[in-house]
Amino acid sequence: MATVLDIQRYKDEGRRFAMLTVYDFLSARLLDEAGIPILLVGDSLGMVMLGHPTTLPVTMEDMLHHAKAVARGARQALLVGDMPFMSYQASVEDAVRNAGRFIQEAGMHAVKLEGGGTVVEITRRLVDAGVPVMGHLGLTPQSVHAMGGFKVQGKTDAQAARILADARALEEAGAFSIVLEGMPSKLAAEITHALRIPTIGIGAGPACDGQVLVFHDMLGLTTGKAPKFVKRYANLAEDISRAVNAYADDVRTGNFPGPEHEYSTNGSTPAKDPSEVRYGG
Ligand code: KIV
């Protein structure tokens, strides 16, 4: 199983690595079998899976529900649970209790928290409690209203200096890695070179030690105009549309089900192949 030590080793050896978001059992199994070393149960599930306009409505219960499913599907990857809005901001006690739930109830190996400033002390306390912490700086979606929208951060010298200082402070507090989201490539490169721990970029250019994308974005499952930083490796929304239309046509024309999909008249036969999936009774 990949551990936080492996992730550090990747940086020490100059090996770039991929992280992906994942929200369900089946996808977790596919990504795990593909050898993706870090799977993030991101609070982006609020937008991707639950249809919210931002990540702000996502609750701990939402996160745990999905994290448990992911843990059932993955064997090799380091699993990171994303602490949702207001699960850690109000107090260190909230943070420790909720991070503990990710580890104890949902089978996650680490948690991710957005922001610097007061989050540095929370990070220190979680690390003291034995919980590996991934930081997250730059465009932090839980602060969408404070930022005045989903805007690239760190464009001014003052902002860039603040983000660099937060990154150093998170490293000093014991974070094992930091996501750098939505910032100029030059700033992400500066942070990556300044830190001993790995950085993981999303919309932060090529210098980061690792990269992360939202699974549904890179597969072309989310529709509409993708953000500039997304590379689509498939167009599954189109494939799904084609497949369900073909199915509906087959049903209309009587081409489905065919003889190969029918059961015989002498009772229902038990599945011969134990991997054959049966739903319900
Ligand atoms: O919630 C999420 O998916 C994330 C990644 C984009 C880093 O935080």
Q: What is the pLDDT along the chain (281 residues), one digit of tens a residue?
A: 999 999 999 999 999 999 999 999 999 999 999 999 999 999 999 999 999 999 999 999 999 999 999 999 999 999 999 999 999 999 999 999 999 999 999 999 999 999 999 999 999 999 999 999 999 999 999 999 999 999 999 999 999 999 999 999 999 999 999 999 999 999 999 999 999 999 999 999 999 999 999 999 999 999 889 999 999 999 999 999 999 999 999 999 999 999 999 998 876 555 567 677 667 65
Q: Which two tokens stand for residue 109?
A: 């190996």
Which amino acid residue places its CA nearest to atom 2 of ligand 1?
42
Residues whose CB falls within 8 Å of the CB of residue 163, separated by 6 or more in sequence, listed in order? 116, 137, 138, 153, 154, 183, 187, 191
Q: Is 181 an active-site residue?
A: yes
| Closest residue by Cα to residue 113 from 105, 94, 104, 230 | 94
Residue identifier of the C-alpha nearest atom 1 of ligand 1: 42
Which residues, at least 6 apart from 99, have a Cβ–Cβ distance to it below 8 Å? 81, 83, 88, 111, 126, 129, 131
In the reported structure, the alpha carbon of residue 238 is separated from the centroid of ligand 1 by a whole-number distance in angstroms of 24
Token match 């402070």: residue?
A: 169
Measured in angstroms, how far is the CA atom of residue 218 from the centroid of ligand 1?
13
Check: CB of residue 213 under 8 Å from CB of residue 171: no
Residues 24, 67: Cα–Cα separation, whole Å: 8
Evaluate: CB of 21 within 6 angstroms of ligand 1. yes
- Taking the whole predicted model, whether its pTM rises above 0.85 is answered as yes
Q: What tokens were used for 79?
A: 């699993």
CA 21 to ligand 1 center in whole angstroms: 7
Of the residues 121, 181, 262, 276, only one is catalytic, namely 181
From residue 189, how far is each of 36, 166, 199, 206 by CA, in Å? 23, 15, 9, 8
Q: Strands 17-21 and 210-213: what pairing?
A: parallel
Q: Is the CB of 137 under 6 A from ligand 1?
A: no
- DSSP code at position 259: G
Element (H, E) at 186: helix 185-194
Whether 135 is in the pocket of ligand 1, judged by its Cβ within 6 Å, is no
